[in-house]
């Protein structure tokens, strides 16, 4: 039985963890989900690392929603660097799913975008864990999570 770690935040205005859990359960079976919630996105990296090391998670999702201010961008950068380091220290994939509050024009679109991006990344997480060889068939096809795919620019 494989294990998937899900970590989200109380800072986010959308319950990202609940969406990820729902989508993973739609994708298939054969795994157990371990969920944690932390205050802000800068707490995600170490929480994911602990899930991998102490709970034996085979992959994790780090779900965060940076605010619109300049300082939020800086913090998101630090959070991302931490998630990168956590992956390298554990040699384990952590799928980072960040939705910036200023990507959407209003609250309605923010909820729509967040749900879509989290679901598409949950599908990626499932595929990377159970069918990594299928990812190769999608190489260079311009996939995007949230807004429309760009598609391949192939000769």
Of 1 and 71, nearer to a copy of itself (C-beta) is 71
Please select the residue that binds a copy of itself; options are 55, 89, 131, 147, rule is CB under 8 A.
89
Of 31 and 86, nearer to a copy of itself (C-beta) is 86
Check binding of 152 to a copy of itself (CB under 8 A): yes
- Pair 31, 24: CB distance under 8 Å: yes
Q: Scanning residues 93 to 132, which ones bind a copy of itself (CB under 8 A)?
A: 93-96, 100, 107, 110-111, 121, 124, 128, 132
Minimal distance, residue 4 CB to a copy of itself, in Å = 15
Check binding of 3 to a copy of itself (CB under 8 A): no
| Beta bridge pairs of residue 5 | 34, 60
Check binding of 73 to a copy of itself (CB under 8 A): yes
Please select the residue that binds a copy of itself; options are 2, 25, 32, 84, rule is CB under 8 A.
84
Minimal distance, residue 90 CB to a copy of itself, in Å = 8
- Pair 58, 4: CB distance under 8 Å: yes
């Amino acid at each position: 039985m494989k294990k998937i770690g899900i970590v989200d935040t109380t800072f986010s205005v959308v319950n990202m963890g609940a969406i990820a859990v729902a989508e993973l359960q739609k994708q298939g079976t054969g795994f157990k989900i371990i969920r944690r919630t932390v205050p802000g996105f800068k707490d995600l990296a170490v929480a994911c690392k602990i899930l991998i090391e102490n709970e034996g998670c085979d992959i994790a999702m780090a779900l965060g929603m940076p605010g619109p201010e300049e300082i939020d961008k800086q913090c998101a950068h630090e959070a991302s660097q931490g998630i990168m380091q956590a992956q390298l220290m554990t040699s384990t994939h952590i799928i980072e799913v960040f939705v910036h509050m200023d990507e959407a024009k209003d609250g309605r679109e923010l909820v729509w975008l967040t749900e879509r991006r989290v679901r598409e990344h949950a599908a990626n997480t499932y595929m990377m864990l159970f069918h990594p060889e299928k990812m190769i068939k999608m190489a260079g096809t311009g996939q995007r999570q949230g807004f429309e795919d760009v598609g391949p620019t192939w000769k």
